[in-house]
Each structure stands twice: as structure tokens, then as C-alpha cells.
């Protein structure tokens, strides 16, 4: 039956649905805004790019990608996983504006990939690896934010690799922070964390008003008020600028728009530009597809994101970001997680966060610069805990080694290397587990002894599909069959047999007479690649 609903009517219905949840999406968009600002700045700093380029990517990720994307809860922006690639590319290409041309080209390549339906790759990531990615990101957020919570802010926000730009690692930074404690930051983060816990576990259950106004908004408001009051009345407790958000402040309204940069196309014919573009397109697409899969799993309504449309949306976003002087964008799990946990219902929250980011950076940068990093650390600590909740580890352990080992490997890889390397290690282990299972499940072998003759009767039943991966297991079992036996090879259930396995059986048929083995092969018409036959040998 064809769908007779006008396309325009469907779009209007979706538009109305987005705004019908504004009371949920509005507060969630504000929370994502406060989380996104320091992450955008920190990723830009770690990438060796102008600070404003991170904010541009955040605006584009919210407004452009948010509008075009089919992801109901995903939030896009500059990605920590691309920081090293961006840093090396800028150095290799010689200038940031030349690099911007590679970002535009990468966006065009992503659009082509989406049109070519490459988004299907998202469905090939095992569940254990995706859950491991979420838990690993959660643990990493906690480890990275503890130093910021106590005022040790030497490493920029948003840096997610094990080896940090300041020369420390994720673990050594925890040791170094002990000698760099800031009492005011500890006080602010502790009180903000108390607000978040009470708001979520007590107040939100008692009154609807506490559900409408999100705890993170109250925590950020508390942090701003604390900084204003401390600066005016208790200067010794006021946080210095290195402990606060630092948004670039334009001298005038027109000066704000001068912060945007345009690409330098003078090196468009250089192979280095195209290599960078392809690298950015591939890595950004993989990271986006991973985050899409993870975000869909966290969605309380279990909606499915159209992945091909997502690649097109990300491609348009990167094209626009590059044209405006922004960093490459991807869907980002940290912001998406904060969005979901703040009660967002539709993609309006992502769009709203992009709009608010643009307005605040343009009109209210000095207000944003009053937000303590320790307050944002407390918000992210809660996000990290919810991603890596202990019950998830218990659940995965109870599912057995085939699920827990890839899960744990992914976590360790993310914590001790980076996101993409951790996913790669988890995928490698998951594939290895599949190979082992496939190796062992190719057949069933049963050996019995004929009481009348004393000879051995061996019965081997092949599974429905026998691939080259099963070659070793079947060869091992055939070689173990003792001489002077009777063998029944039952392939009646086998609908697909690889040529390599077929050759093994033919070799065994030829050697059976020499070993005094009576061989009977039971086949169905479609189960083998040649006509069925029966061969018996007599002693």
C-alpha cells in the first residue's frame, strides 16, 4: 500500500512534534550549551586551532547538523577524537586556513558517502563493543574531570586521549592534582555535586517544578553567583581566570563577525590537502556512526537514526563549518549523553543549544566567562557515572565471556589509548570470539562402537553453513578417526558448503580405502556442490 500522506504534511507534523516537547527540550538544550562551551574551547586548544573555531563548530553542529539530522537526541560538535589529526594536519599544511579547505572537501566526501548509502556500516558494530564504548567514555569522563573538580586545570577540557597535551597522562594527572588543589574550586564542585544528586534523587520526585527546571541549570547558576559574590565580597575565594570558562570576547558587535575565517584555496591541487580531507571524512564518519549507534541505545523511546541521512547531515555540517572557520564536526557522545540525561525528547534541544551558543558567544561572552570549570566538572561526573553504572558491568559479566571480554577490552582500550583505538581493539576481540565460536560450531561428531563387530561407527553431522573458517576444525576431526572405522557424514542440513571444506571431504574419500574406512555421505540435493554419491570400501 502506498503512503498517501503529503510529504509537506509529514514535515509540518514533525515540526509541531518538536515544539510540543519544548518544556523538556528547552532545559536540556541549556544544559548541553553549558557542557558544550568548555568542550568546544578545550578541543580547539588541544587541536592547535583558534579558540573561536571550536565555538563555530559547536554552532554549526547544533544549527546545521541538528536541523538536517534524523537523530532525535544526538548532538554534534567538534570531536576530541579528531584533535590529534587536526593538530598534525595544521602543522603539515602550514596554516589553519589552508586546513579549512580540507574540512570543506571532507564534508563533500561525507555527503557522497551518505548518498552512496555507506551508513549501513553502523549496523556492524557488536552490542558488547557499543556498551563498552559507553562505559569506557563514562570512566574516562570521570578520570578527566576529577582534576578539574579540584582546580587542577592544566589540561584543556575535551581532551580524551590517554597522553595529554600537558605531558601528563590520564592517571598521572590524578597524582599531580594533589599538589595543585584549589579550595574554592573544591567547595564549588562539592556543592554543585550535592545540588545535582539531591535534585535528581529527591527533589525531582516530589514536585513537577523540579522536573521542569533541571539540576545542572541550578548548579551552573550557583557557580556564576558564587563567582560574582566572591569577587565582590570575598576576593580570596574568587576563582582566577584559569579556573573559569574563557570565551573570546569581541571588542564590538562587528568585531564578533570578524572572528569567522574563510578557507585558503591556494593549495587545492596539493595531494596533502586531499589526503587530509579523506582522513577527516573517514574518521569523522566512523566516529559519528559509532555515536549514532550508542545514542540510539540510550534513547528511552528506542528510536532508530537513519544513518545515511546522518552522514549527509554531517557532511553538510563540515562543509559549512569549514567555510566559516570551524573545526570538523561529528556526533559527540558526551554532549548526546548529557542531552538524554537532561530529559530531551526531540532534536529541538540540539538545535536550541546551537542557537543559544551563537547568541551567548555574540552577546553574553562575559557571563559565560563567569562559569567555573569545577561546576561543569560536577555535571560531567554525574554524566560519567550514569554511562558507567556498576549494574552495567554486572549485567555484561553475567552474559558470559563472549560478551564480557569484548566489552572489557573496549573499555580498557578507550581509557588507555583513545576512542577509535579502543573501538578497534574491542572489534578485534569480538571478531576473534566469533571466529572461535564459528570454528567450534561447524559440526557435531558422535562416536559409538558396534557390539557385534567391535568396529567403531563415527557419525558427523554438518551445520547449515560451513565456511572456510570451519576448515581446520573439520580437518582435525577427520584426521582423528581411527582406521578400520565406519563413518557416516551427514550433510543433509547443510545448505552452503565452502569449496575448501568440499576439498577436504574429497581428500578424505580418497584416503578412506587406504585406511580401511567405510564412508557413507548423506546429502540433500542443494547441500553440496556436486551430485551425491556413496562410496564403501571392504577390508
How many CA within 13 A on the CB side of residue 388?
A: 24
How many CA within 13 A on the CB side of residue 328?
A: 37
Same domain, yes or no: 421 and 447: no
The four Cα atoms 81, 82, 83, 84 give a dihedral, to 10 degrees, of 100
CB 523 within 8 A of CB 535: no
Total of domains in the chain: 2
Same domain, yes or no: 476 and 345: no
pLDDT at 202: 85
Same domain, yes or no: 515 and 386: no
Same domain, yes or no: 296 and 327: yes
Q: What is the DSSP string of 333-380?
A: HHHHHHHHHTT--STHHHHHHHHHHHHHHHH-HHHHTTSBHHHHHHHH
Same domain, yes or no: 321 and 460: no
Same domain, yes or no: 502 and 375: no
Q: How far apart are CA 478 and CA 493, in angstroms?
A: 19
pLDDT at 203: 83
Give a yes or no: residue 435 inside a domain: no
Q: Give per-residue pLDDT as tens, 433-476.
A: 877 776 665 555 555 555 455 566 888 888 777 777 777 778 88
CB neighbours of 284 closer than 8 A, spacing ≥ 6? 79, 82, 106, 110, 314, 318, 328, 329, 330
Tell which of 392, 427, 462 closes a domain: 427
Q: How far apart are CA 53 and CA 487, in angstroms?
A: 71
Same domain, yes or no: 407 and 447: no
Residue with cell 574563557: 246
Same domain, yes or no: 374 and 235: yes
pLDDT at 529: 40
Helix residue ranges, H only, 202-270: 208-212, 215-233, 253-257
pLDDT at 212: 73
Q: Which of 96, 9, 18 is nearest to 350 (CA)?
A: 18
Q: How far apart are CA 352 and CA 363, in angstroms?
A: 16
Same domain, yes or no: 314 and 448: no
Same domain, yes or no: 350 and 399: yes
CB 419 within 8 A of CB 138: no
Tell me, what CATH number does 518's domain have? 3.30.750.24
CA distances from 272 to 88, 98, 275, 276 (A): 12, 11, 5, 6
Q: How far apart are CA 259 and CA 275, in angstroms?
A: 28
Tell which of 397, 427, 457 closes a domain: 427
Same domain, yes or no: 153 and 302: yes
pLDDT at 443: 55
Give a yes or no: residue 16 inside a domain: no
Q: Which of 376, 386, 421, 379 is nearest to 160 (CA)?
A: 421
pLDDT at 536: 40
124: three-class secondary structure by DSSP: helix
Dihedral (CA of 303, 308, 309, 313) sign: positive
Q: For Cα atoms 175, 140, 365, give the angle at the middle one, nearest 5 degrees.
A: 90
CB 103 within 8 A of CB 322: yes
Give a yes or no: residue 365 inside a domain: yes
pLDDT at 1: 39
Same domain, yes or no: 459 and 390: no
pLDDT at 353: 96
Helix residue ranges, H only, 116-164: 127-149
Q: Which helix (H) or strand (E) holds 6?
A: none
Q: Which of 406, 513, 510, 501 is nearest to 463 (CA)?
A: 501
pLDDT at 3: 43
CB 326 within 8 A of CB 69: no
Q: How far apart are CA 4 and CA 498, in angstroms?
A: 47
Give a yes or no: residue 295 inside a domain: yes
Tell which of 427, 462, 480 closes a domain: 427
Q: Which of 185, 178, 145 is nearest to 371 (CA)?
A: 185
Range of 101's domain?
Answer: 25-427
Give the residue ranges of the chain where pLDDT is below 50: 1-7, 10, 451, 526-539
Give a yes or no: residue 394 inside a domain: yes
Q: Which helix (H) or strand (E) holds 489?
A: strand 486-491
Give a yes or no: residue 410 inside a domain: yes
pLDDT at 37: 93
Mapped to the 3 state alphabet, what secondary structure does 405-438 carry? HHHHHHHHHHHHCCHHHHHHHHHHHHHHHHHHHH
pLDDT at 311: 97
pLDDT at 2: 41
Global confidence as pTM: 0.79
Give a yes or no: residue 14 inside a domain: no
Amino acid at each position: 500500500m502506498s503512503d498517501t500522506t503529503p510529504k509537506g504534511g509529514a514535515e509540518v507534523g514533525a515540526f509541531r512534534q518538536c515544539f510540543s516537547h519544548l518544556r523538556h527540550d528547552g532545559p536540556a538544550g541549556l544544559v548541553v550549551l553549558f557542557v558544550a562551551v568548555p568542550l568546544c574551547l578545550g578541543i580547539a586548544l588541544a587541536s592547535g586551532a583558534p579558540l573561536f573555531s571550536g565555538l563555530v563548530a559547536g554552532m554549526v553542529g547544533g544549527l546545521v547538523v541538528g536541523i538536517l539530522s534524523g537523530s532525535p537526541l544526538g548532538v554534534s560538535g567538534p570531536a576530541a577524537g579528531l584533535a590529534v589529526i587536526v593538530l598534525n594536519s595544521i602543522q603539515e599544511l602550514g596554516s589553519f586556513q589552508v586546513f579549512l579547505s580540507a574540512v570543506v572537501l571532507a564534508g563533500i566526501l561525507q555527503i557522497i558517502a551518505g548518498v552512496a548509502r555507506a551508513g549501513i556500516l553502523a549496523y556492524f558494530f557488536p552490542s558488547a563493543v557499543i556498551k563498552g564504548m559507553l562505559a569506557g567514555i563514562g570512566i574516562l569522563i570521570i578520570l578527566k574531570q576529577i582534576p578539574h573538580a579540584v582546580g587542577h586545570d592544566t589540561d584543556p577540557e575535551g581532551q580524551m586521549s590517554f597522553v595529554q597535551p600537558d605531558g601528563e597522562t590520564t592517571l598521572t594527572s590524578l597524582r599531580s592534582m594533589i599538589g595543585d588543589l584549589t579550595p574554592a574550586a573544591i567547595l564549588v564542585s562539592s556543592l554543585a555535586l550535592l545540588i545535582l544528586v539531591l535534585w535528581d534523587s529527591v527533589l525531582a520526585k516530589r514536585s513537577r517544578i523540579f522536573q521542569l527546571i533541571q539540576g545542572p541549570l541550578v548548579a551552573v547558576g550557583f557557580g556564576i553567583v558564587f563567582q560574582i559574590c566572591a569577587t565582590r565580597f570575598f576576593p580570596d575565594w574568587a576563582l582566577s581566570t584559569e579556573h573559569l570558562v574563557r570565551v573570546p570576547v569581541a571588542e564590538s558587535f562587528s568585531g564578533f563577525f570578524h572572528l569567522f575565517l574563510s578557507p585558503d584555496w591556494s593549495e587545492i591541487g596539493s595531494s596533502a590537502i586531499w589526503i587530509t580531507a579523506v582522513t577527516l571524512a573517514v574518521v569523522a564518519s566512523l566516529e559519528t556512526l559509532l555515536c549514532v549507534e550508542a545514542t540510539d541505545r540510550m534513547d528511552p523511546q528506542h528510536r532508530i537514526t537513519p544513518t545515511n541521512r546522518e552522514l549527509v547531515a554531517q557532511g553538510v555540517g563540515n562543509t559549512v563549518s569549514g567555510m566559516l572557520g570551524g573545526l570538523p564536526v561529528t556526533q559527540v557522545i558526551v554532549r548526546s549523553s548529557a542531552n538524554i540525561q537532561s530529559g530531551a525528547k526531540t532534536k529541538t534541544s540540539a538545535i536550541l543549544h546551537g542557537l543559544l551558543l551563537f547568541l551567548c558567544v555574540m552577546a553574553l561572552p562575559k557571563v559565560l566567562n563567569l562559569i567555573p570549570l569545577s561546576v561543569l566538572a560536577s555535571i560531567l561526573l554525574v554524566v560519567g557515572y550514569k554511562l558507567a553504572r556498576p549494574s552495567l558491568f554486572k549485567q555484561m559479566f553475567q552474559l558470559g565471556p563472549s560478551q564480557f571480554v569484548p566489552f572489557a577490552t573496549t573499555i580498557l582500550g578507550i581509557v588507555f589509548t583513545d576512542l577509535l583505538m579502543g573501538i578497534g581493539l574491542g572489534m578485534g576481540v569480538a571478531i576473534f570470539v566469533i571466529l572461535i565460536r564459528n570454528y567450534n560450531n561447524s559440526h557435531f561428531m558422535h562416536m559409538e562402537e558396534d557390539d557385534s563387530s567391535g568396529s567403531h561407527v563415527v557419525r558427523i553431522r554438518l551445520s547449515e553453513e560451513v565456511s572456510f573458517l570451519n576448515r581446520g576444525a573439520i580437518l582435525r576431526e577427520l584426521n582423528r578417526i581411527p582406521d578400520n572405522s565406519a563413518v557416516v557424514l551427514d550433510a543433509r542440513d547443510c545448505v552452503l558448503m565452502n569449496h575448501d571444506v568440499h576439498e577436504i571431504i574429497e581428500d578424505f574419500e580418497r584416503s578412506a580405502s587406504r585406511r580401511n574406512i567405510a564412508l557413507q555421505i548423506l546429502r540433500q540435493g542443494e547441500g553440496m556442490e556436486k551430485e551425491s554419491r556413496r562410496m564403501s570400501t571392504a577390508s
